Amino acid sequence: MNNAKSDIEPLIMVRQLTSEYGDQVILDKVSFDVHKGEILVILGGSGCGKTTLLRHMVGLNKTHKGSIHIEGHDICNGDDSIYQAALKKIGILFQNGALLGSMTVSENVALPIIENARLSKQALKRLVRMKLTMVGLGEYGHYLPSELSGGMRKRAALARALALNPEILFLDEPSAGLDPITSAEIDDLILMINRNIGTTMVIVTHELASIFALAKRVIMLDKSVKGIIADGEPHHLKQHSDNPLVRQFFNRESRNQAI
Amino acid sequence: MATAASVPVCTITIEQPDEASTRLSLSGRLESGNAARVIEDVLSRLATHPPLRLDVNLERIHYFDDYGSLVLQEIRHFVESRKAAFQLINVPEHVESILSLVDFHHQDYLPTNSKKKPISIFVRMGEAVIIQLDTFKYMTSFLGSVSICLVHGVLHPRSIRWGDTIVYMQKTGVDAVPIVALISFLLGLIMAFVSSMQLEQFGAGIYVASLVALSMVSEFGPIITAIIVAGRSGSAYAAEIGTMQISEEIDALFTMGFQPTLFLAIPRLIAAVIVVPVLTLFSDVFAILGGLVVSSTMLDLTVGTYITQTLEALTLFELMWGLMKSAVFAVLIALVGCLRGFQVRGGASEVGNAATSAVVSSIFLIILFDSIFAVIRSYW
Ligand SMILES: Nc1ncnc2c1ncn2[C@@H]1O[C@H](COP(=O)(O)OP(=O)(O)O)[C@@H](O)[C@H]1O
Ligand SMILES: [Mg+2]
- Tell me how crowded residue A159 is: count the other CB atoms within 10 A of its CB: 26
Residue nearest to atom 22 of ligand 1 (CA): A47
Query: B10-106 architecture in CATH?
Result: 2-Layer Sandwich (3.30)
- Beta-strand relationship, A12-21 and A90-93: unpaired
Identity of residue B319: L
pLDDT of amino acid B125: 93
How far, in Å, from the CA of A204 to the mean position of ligand 1? 14
Q: How far apart are the first and last CA of chain A?
A: 31
Q: What residues flank ion ligand 2 with Cβ within 5 A? A: A 51
Helices (H), A162-233: 180-197, 208-214
Residues with CB under 6 A from ligand 1: A 21, 26, 46-52
**Does the pLDDT at position B114 exceed 60?**
no
Give the Cα separation of B363 and B367 in Å (integer).
6
**Does the pLDDT at position A24 exceed 90?**
no
Residues of A in contact with B246 (CB under 8 A): 101, 146
How far, in Å, from the CA of A50 to the mean position of ligand 2? 6
Across chain B, where does the E strand assignment appear? 10-15, 21-30, 53-57, 61-64, 85-89
Query: Model confidence over A46-84: pLDDT tens digits?
Result: 888 888 998 888 888 888 888 888 888 888 887 888 888
Least trusted range by pLDDT, from A32-36, A42-46, A254-258: A254-258
Q: How far is CA A167 from the centre of its chain?
A: 12
Q: What is the mean pLDDT of chain B?
A: 88
A176 at the B interface (CB within 8 A)?
A: no
A119·B98 Cβ contact <8 A: no
Residue A51, SS3?
A: helix
A146·B74 Cβ contact <8 A: no
Q: What ipTM score was computed for the predicted complex, to two decimals?
A: 0.76
pLDDT of amino acid B358: 95
Q: Which ligand is nearest to the CA of A174?
A: 2
pLDDT of amino acid A1: 40
Angle at CA B340, nearest 5°, toward B339 and B343?
85
Q: Which of A100, A134, A198 faces B347 most closely, judged by CB atoms? A: A100
Q: Which atom of ligand 1 is nearest to the CA of A48?
A: 21
B349·A102 Cβ contact <8 A: yes
Would the CA dihedral through A60, A64, A65, A69 be positive or negative? positive
Angle at CA A201, nearest 5°, toward A197 and A203?
145
Query: Model confidence over B213-264: pLDDT tens digits?
Result: 999 999 999 999 999 999 999 999 999 999 999 888 888 888 887 889 999 9
Nearest residue of B to residue A148, measured between CA atoms: B346
Residues of A in contact with B97 (CB under 8 A): 192, 196
Give the Cα separation of B76 and B87 in Å (integer).
8
Helices (H), chain A: 2-5, 50-57, 80-87, 105-116, 121-134, 150-161, 180-197, 208-214, 234-240, 244-251
Q: How far is CA A90 from the centre of its chain?
A: 10
Least trusted range by pLDDT, from A174-188, B312-326, B334-348: A174-188
Mean of pLDDT values over B108-124:
69
Domains detected in chain A:
1-89+207-259 (3.40.50.300)
Q: Which ligand is nearest to the CA of A96?
A: 2
Residue nearest to atom 5 of ligand 1 (CA): A21
Q: B164, B161, B160: which is closest to B150 by C-alpha?
A: B160
| Domain regions of chain B by residue span | 10-106, 127-378
Q: B341, B356, B347: which is closest to B138 by C-alpha?
A: B341
Q: B31, B24, B74: which is closest to B53 by C-alpha?
A: B24
Q: Which ligand is nearest to the CA of A173?
A: 2
Query: Model confidence over A117-166: pLDDT tens digits?
Result: 788 888 888 889 888 988 888 888 888 888 888 888 888 998 998 888 88
- Beta-strand relationship, B10-15 and B21-30: antiparallel
Residues of B in contact with A165 (CB under 8 A): 31-32, 65-67
Instruction: Give the CA distances from residue B245 to residues A136, B88, B145, B341, in Å, rounded to whole numbers and listed in that order.
Output: 29, 51, 17, 7
Query: Model confidence over A103-118: pLDDT tens digits?
Result: 889 999 998 888 877 8
Q: Is the pTM above the cut of 0.80?
A: no
Query: Model confidence over B88-113: pLDDT tens digits?
Result: 888 888 888 888 888 887 766 555 55
Q: Are B322 and B344 in contact (CB under 8 A)?
A: no
pLDDT of amino acid B26: 86
Across B50-192, where does the E strand assignment appear? 53-57, 61-64, 85-89
**Does the pLDDT at position B128 exceed 50?**
yes
pLDDT of amino acid B93: 85
Q: A176, A198, A167: which is closest to A87 by C-alpha?
A: A167
Q: A28, A23, A17, A84: which is closest to A55 by C-alpha?
A: A17
